Amino acid sequence: METRQPLSTADMGARERLLESTVNLFAEKGYAATPVREIVENAGVTKPVLYYYFKNKEGLFHAVLDWAAELQEEVLGEALNTPGTALDRVLAMTQQIYLGVIEYRNLFRMIHSLVFGPPQAAPDYDFGRYHRRMMDVISGLYREGIEKGEVRGANPKEAALLILGIIDFSLNLDHVYEQKLDPERPQRLIRLAFEGLGNRHVPSMETAIPRQS
């Protein structure tokens, strides 16, 4: 059985520094272009400290992405415990997601580049877990809204796809055009989706436009 030597007092807190260093460097350079030497130097530790916590660079990579999943769970947990209607809870969740992205901007950039950017020779990782978890929570909130008569009896999974699509679009838009950052955009669009664009009192095109004789 492998035994690990205890860390010195100077190395306490090193795990968090290594995670932060990794996120910043992966967001800037990508996985393949970031050497272990630079990660540990940026974190102010030695390679043995990295190996103590994560064994290797791949282990550090997985630890960062698992940490992102833990942060996601915190956000979703707050949404599930928020009182109010289905819309209130979805909006609260959206706001927390945006606050999280602002606080952990480089973490979002890192994941965004891994998912949508060019191949980085990074280890395999189930990035779909983030979306699947979001889908489960949002569809569950919508299903509760149906049961309480708060929303239309639409397919909860399709409603979740619509809401998640708005959130993803808004996050990606703000990522590309940071100078036009608009954290309130997704909430406005989600309200619009819940309210609907249809107006039953508006006549159809055929009846609104007089026929030419």
Q: Is the residue at 32 inside a domain?
A: no
The vertex-162 CA angle with 156 and 166, nearest 5°, equals 145
pTM (two decimals):
0.81
Q: Is the residue at 16 inside a domain?
A: no
Q: Is the residue at 7 inside a domain?
A: no
Q: Is the residue at 11 inside a domain?
A: no
> Out of 87-96, 110-119, 141-150, which region has the weakest mean confidence (pLDDT)?
110-119
pLDDT for 211 beyond 70:
no
Q: Is the residue at 156 inside a domain?
A: yes
- Per-residue pLDDT band for 213 (boundaries 50, 70, 90) equals very low
The vertex-29 CA angle with 109 and 129, nearest 5°, equals 40
Q: Find the domain containing 140 and state its range.
A: 64-195
The vertex-209 CA angle with 207 and 211, nearest 5°, equals 90
Q: Is the residue at 118 inside a domain?
A: yes
- Per-residue pLDDT tens over the stretch 69-94: 999 999 999 888 999 999 999 999 99
Environment class of 20 (CB within 10 Å of its CB; exposed 0-12, middle 13-18, buried 19+): middle
pLDDT for 170 beyond 70:
yes
pLDDT value at residue 201: 53
Query: Which CATH number characterizes residue 77's domain?
Result: 1.10.357
Matching residue, tokens 């619009």: 192
Amino acid at 67: W
Q: Is the residue at 79 inside a domain?
A: yes
Integer Cα distance of 94 and 75 in angstroms: 9
Integer Cα distance of 74 and 118 in angstroms: 30
- Per-residue pLDDT tens over the stretch 41-74: 999 999 999 999 999 999 999 999 999 999 999 9
What is the total count of domains within the chain? 1
Residue 8 DSSP label? P
Helices (H), 30-127: 36-43, 47-54, 57-80, 86-103, 105-116
% of the chain surpassing 90 pLDDT: 69
Q: Is the residue at 18 inside a domain?
A: no
The mean pLDDT value for 24-31 works out to 94
- Per-residue pLDDT band for 203 (boundaries 50, 70, 90) equals low
